[in-house]
Amino acid sequence: MILAALLALALAMAAQGPHPVPVNFQDTSFTTTDGVRLHVLEAGQGRPGEPVVAFVPGWSMPASIWRRQLEALAATHRVVALDPRGQGKSEVPPGGYTTERRAEDIHEFVARHAPVVLVAWSLGALEALQYVHAHGDAALAALVIVDSSVGEGPAPAPRDPAVPGFQDELKRDRAAVVDGFVRAMFRTPQRDADLVALREAALRMPLDASLSLFPGERIPREHWREIARAFRKPLLYAVTPQFAGQAESLRRNRPATRVELFEGSGHALFVDDPVRFSALLEDFIRRNKQMPAAAD
């Protein structure tokens, strides 16, 4: 009886496939040229000829939101994820919360690991585009933009000033709005503990700093469109339906762009569908063999 039970257990474990190799994450940091300590989550050693894969999260989110991708790619690549200033485990300085300064932070982050495949999500994607605008693409093997506007298509209708916008709501009841924002990023059920951790991470940054991160009308949307269309290296644009029209417009005007639509996912599509997204990154890198090797 006991032998039969042990045999059944062994068969069940075998059916689940091999156990994943544990990933050893390292917490590292560097100091920016304006004296701010930024935290970086790192894993993997990489294979010869494979670029470093570098991740940048969106507005108020920590580097750890990319954990599933870091785990999936660490066996074949060196992977690094940045906590932007004021986010995650990075320092919360009194200033520097602009698109331009955070683009400089990305420049200094990328320079430490170049050449890289830069994967940037949401607001982080705009900051990555600004980095390309300011410093060019020499340090990049490729760029992956995840669920962010790239300034394509007609501008959205002007907001009714009588209706409070997202920033107005943040000023009125920040905790509740951030909680709703975090929950709305996902279509799949998330653990309450994970949602709470993301909410608390988003609240680390001072309110005024979190508001100043939005470029708004200060930077015209055409600015992003011009940068994306002119990008010379491989470009992947992974979006949910809210950006499907922009994706098609970018592909028409920049035919080499690879577009992937995640129809059933929320804004954090790489969390909702981590297996597909990680496989997409692997395939994108594999198909672009002209990518330069990472420096030793």
Q: What is the pLDDT of residue 238?
A: 98
Please identify which residue in the block is written with the tokens 């496989």.
279
Q: Which is nearest to 82 in space by CA: 128, 22, 47?
A: 128
Report, as an integer, the average pLDDT of 119-132.
Answer: 98
Please count the CA atoms within 13 angstroms of the CA of 223 that sit on its side-chain side.
18
* pLDDT tops 60 at residue 18: no
* pLDDT tops 50 at residue 296: no
Residue 283 pLDDT level (bands cut at 50, 70, 90): very high
Q: What is the pLDDT of residue 290?
A: 59
Q: Which is nearest to 117 in space by CA: 276, 295, 294, 296?
A: 294
Residue 1 pLDDT level (bands cut at 50, 70, 90): very low
* pLDDT tops 60 at residue 9: no
Q: What is the pLDDT of residue 216?
A: 79
* pLDDT tops 80 at residue 46: yes
What is the CATH superfamily name and number for domain 22-152+162-287?
Alpha/Beta hydrolase fold, catalytic domain (3.40.50.1820)
* pLDDT tops 80 at residue 15: no
- What are the sequence ranges of the domains in the chain? 22-152+162-287
* pLDDT tops 70 at residue 14: no
For residue 13, give both structure tokens.
């474990």
Q: Which is nearest to 152 in space by CA: 267, 261, 235, 250?
A: 250
Task: Write a three-state SS string for the chain.
Answer: CHHHHHHHHHHHHHHCCCCCCCCCCEEEEEECCCCCEEEEEEECCCCCCCCEEEEECCCCCCHHHHHHHHHHHCCCCCEEEECCCCCCCCCCCCCCCCHHHHHHHHHHHHHCCCCEEEEEECHHHHHHHHHHHHHCCCCEEEEEEECCCCCCCCCCCCCCCCCCCHHHHHHHCHHHHHHHHHHHCCCCCCCHHHHHHHHHHHCCCCHHHHHHCCCHHHCCHHHHHHHHHHCCCCEEEEECHHHHHHHHHHHHHCCCCEEEECCCCCCCHHHHCHHHHHHHHHHHHHHCCCCCCCCC
Mean residue pLDDT across the chain: 90
251/233 Cα distance (integer angstroms): 14
